[in-house]
Homo-oligomer: A and B are copies of this chain.
Amino acid sequence: MSEPVEQWVKELLQSYDEEGKMTEKQLRILNAAIEVFAEKGFAASSTSEIAQRAAVAEGTIFRHYKTKKELLLSIVAPMMSKLIAPFVLRDFSKVLDAKYARYEDFMRAVLINRAEFARNHLPVIKIMLQEIPFHPELKEQFVERVGKKVLERIVPVIRKFQDEGQIVPIPPESVLRLSASAILGFLLMRFVMLPEREWDDAKEIDTTLDFILYGLSASGRPPVA
């Protein structure tokens, strides 16, 4: 049932894969930087270590990125666009209208897709979340390019389901926040806090999604909180 969403998203992501323009060394720098930033945090990472891991001279980094911060931004900023890829599809709600009668099916499809995406880009996501609080321009970008963009597309959908009585009548922002928290909370535990523990990923994701879906479900809820 969730196939179609995954399908357009895959196509979409490919169109974002513009790294073909980079030289091989630049790619190596980028990967090394992601590694080191994710491992030690931006401020505690040294360009000399990045250079070493990328097997280039330190000067080479500064030929491609004027400052260490620019290197950070060049990693984090594109991630924001990619993160919201499915939501900015031109026919986002149209497609949904046709295919997902139930909020649950829709949510499940999207969340599975985004959870999968986050999983695949974990180091960059980690860097992004770690650094947003310390770089106002990142925060602003995130609010503008992720928060607002996603809300803009998803609010009507949430409203529709709220009107149909499928999900609780709370502000759509809250719906988004609660959903994202649960997913990020899982990823954090799974990959940052306790990566060494054995995990049954499929089951955990199911549990998490159920939590979200029942947490937002309007059915079985007392008339007034």
Binding site for B on A (CB under 8 A): 40-44, 126, 130, 132-134, 139, 142-143, 147, 168, 170, 174, 177-178, 180-182, 184-186, 188-189, 192-194, 204, 206-208, 210-212, 214-217, 219-221, 225
Contact = CB atoms under 8 A, between A and B. Distances in A.
A103 to B, nearest CB: 14
26 contacts: A41-B134, A43-B43, A44-B134, A130-B133, A139-B193, A142-B193, A143-B193, A143-B194, A168-B210, A170-B207, A174-B204, A177-B185, A178-B182, A178-B211, A180-B185, A181-B181, A181-B186, A182-B185, A182-B215, A185-B185, A207-B225, A210-B221, A212-B215, A214-B214, A214-B216, A215-B216
A134 B40 contact: yes
Contact of A181 (B174, B184, B217): B184
Contacts of A174: 204, 207-208
Instruction: Tell me the number of copies of this protein.
Output: 4
The dominant DSSP class at the A interface is helix
Given A142-B193, A181-B188, A182-B182, 19 more contacts: A41-B43, A41-B133, A126-B133, A130-B133, A143-B193, A143-B194, A147-B193, A174-B204, A177-B185, A177-B189, A178-B185, A178-B207, A178-B208, A180-B185, A181-B181, A181-B182, A207-B225, A211-B216, A215-B215
